[in-house]
Amino acid sequence: MADFTLRVRRYDPESGEAPYWEERTVSLEEHRSVLEGILQIKARSDGSLGIRCSCRAAICGSCGVRINGEPGLACKTHIGAAQRHSQAIGKGGVIEVEPLGNMPVIKDLIVDMDAVHWKKIQRVTPYLIGRQPVPEREYIVPRESMLDITQTMACIQCGACVSDCLSMEADPGFIGPAALAKAYRFVGDPRDDRRHERLLDLSEDPQGIFDCTHCFKCVQACPKEVNPMGQIMRLRRIASSDEQIVDANNGVRHEAALSTLIRDYGLLHEAELLPRSYGGNSWFGKFHPAAARELLSSLPAIVKAVLRRKVSPRQALLGHKLPPEDLKAVKAIYEHVEGRRSPHRSERYELNLFIVGEDEDGNESAPAGAADKEQSA
Ligand code: SF4
Ligand code: SF4
Ligand code: FES
């Protein structure tokens, strides 16, 4: 048994007081959880402390909080490990516990999941719309397809990814990591009848799949390894490559512009980024009328970037290239990757590495995840 100091963020909107920090000491074995520490405070010193919890086994998703500034489950975080983490990041071993971010606080550590998280889940039509015609008996589904969506089915709706999503912080209207991972659960399900419509909807929504900035925060935050960012990238790939959706937000063109610029110069050539993103790109042909508004709205950002010296006008206009041997190495990577998708190799393999283990015959363990075999675009 050891003593641990918890520094808890307190807030009661009904009191009219501003949020404040409060320190309490708890006695626990170090393999106990931070949640047990919080519940000990409630039981022994302050019953008014607000925390939501149920299963205490990382299953129900209700105890999401930030511990030492990082989102996670209080019941899944060992209190000893949290103390060592606090020491490592210079907080002197005091374990800081605060509510999840990007959601309004109801009281102390309880956030309003209805106002943000569940609203966004509703946004993606979170249920199966059965493929027509309905079979006389059950739908027969390939085993690989179900393995492919198992990763998204592991989500326990804890909101940890929502808490630290940088895009949601900048744009609260962004559909967000948890809801988009949920969307993949149905897009990837062969029994669903609305795959194209779902992808079109999520591509055309300016706060949809192209609003993610690849910051990886949701990947790090998720206690169930759902990899929401990975699911968003899969939605994008299927929408653009398989369903041939070119969105009005220019998401597909912008991605292609970045990719082709790096292929051609080895570095981002800012002066060509906009023309290629907004229609000058021969890969995607004509200028999209809806992109005109986007182009105009980007001008202040461009001026700001130049004024703040994030972009040097000389480099932006004249471009910059890697030394020839480095550029050759970059091009070789592209050739290697694009070669895998050449017409001579008509199949594309995706490995979902989420499910690992040994099969029943006791063969070597291998990623037994979905070897998703699809026709190349
Ligand atoms: S990777 Fe995308 S969805 Fe995930 S936290 Fe970052 S911006 Fe949000
Ligand atoms: S994706 Fe992960 S972090 Fe996000 S709600 Fe689901 S389980 Fe929680
Ligand atoms: S109490 Fe259920 S996930 Fe923590």
176-234 pLDDT per residue, tens: 999 999 999 999 999 999 999 999 999 999 999 999 999 999 999 999 999 999 999 99
What are the tens digits of pLDDT across the range 43-54?
Answer: 999 999 999 999
Q: For residue 349, what pLDDT is reported?
A: 57
How far is Cα 146 from Cα 12, in angstroms, rounded to an integer? 44
Q: Which two tokens stand for residue 141?
A: 């589904």
Whether 151 lines ligand 2, by a CB cut-off of 6 Å, is no
Instruction: Give the distance (Å) from ligand 3 centre to CA of residue 204.
Output: 36
36 lines ligand 3 (CB under 6 A): no
Ligand 1 and 101: CB distance under 6 A: no
Which atom of ligand 3 is closest in space to residue 63's alpha carbon?
A: 4
Top pLDDT among 129 and 275 is at 129
pLDDT for residue 341? 61
Model confidence at 253, in pLDDT bands (50, 70, 90)? Answer: confident
Q: Which residues pair with 356 in a beta bridge?
A: 367
Ligand 1 in contact with 217 (CB < 6 A)? yes
Six-digit token string for 202: 């999520």
pLDDT band, residue 321 (cuts 50/70/90): confident
| Alpha carbons 30 and 130: distance in angstroms, whole number | 49
Q: Are strands 366-367 and 371-375 parallel, antiparallel or unpaired?
A: unpaired
Average pLDDT of the chain?
A: 86
Does ligand 1 have an atom closer than 6 angstroms to the CB of 170? no
What is the Cα–Cα distance from 249 to 7, expressed in whole angstroms?
44
pLDDT at 284 over 70: no
97 and 75 in contact (C-beta within 8 Å)?
no
For residue 57, give the ligand nearest its CA: 3
Average pLDDT over every residue of 324-351: 75
Residue 210 buriedness (CB in 10 A; 0-12 / 13-18 / 19+): buried
Q: Is the pTM of this model over 0.75?
A: yes
Question: What integer pLDDT is reported at residue 251 of this predicted model?
Answer: 85
Q: Is 224 in the pocket of ligand 2 (CB under 6 A)?
A: yes
Closest ligand relative to 165 C-alpha: 1
Within the chain, what is the greatest distance between any pair of CA atoms?
70
Percent of the chain with pLDDT over 90: 62
Q: Which pLDDT does position 241 carry in this prediction?
A: 86
Beta strands 2-10 and 95-98: pairing type? parallel
The residue nearest atom 1 of ligand 3, judged by CA position, is 56
pLDDT for residue 88 is more than 70:
yes
Which residue segments constitute the domains of the chain, with CATH numbers given? Answer: 2-111 (3.10.20.30), 114-242 (1.10.1060.10), 264-340 (no CATH)
For ligand 3, mutation pick of 42, 56, 77 (most atoms within 8 Å of CB): 56
Q: Is the pLDDT of residue 361 over 60?
A: no
Three-class SS state of 156? coil
Exposure on the CB side of residue 173, measured as CA atoms within 13 A: 6
Please report the pLDDT score of residue 146 as a whole number.
87
Q: Ligand 2, residues 226, 232, 354: which to mutate, most atoms within 8 A of Cβ? A: 226
Atom of ligand 3 nearest to the CA of 73: 4
> In which residue are the tokens 């910059």 written?
320
Q: Which ligand is nearest to the CA of 73?
A: 3
User: Mean pLDDT across the stretch 333-342?
Assistant: 77
Q: What is the pLDDT of residue 373?
A: 35
Confidence of residue 294 (pLDDT cuts 50, 70, 90): low
Q: Evaluate: CB of 370 within 6 angstroms of ligand 3.
A: no
- Tell me what the mean pLDDT of segment 69-90 comes to: 98
Q: What average pLDDT score do residues 333-352 get?
A: 66
Query: Does position 340 have pLDDT exceeding 90, yes or no?
Result: no
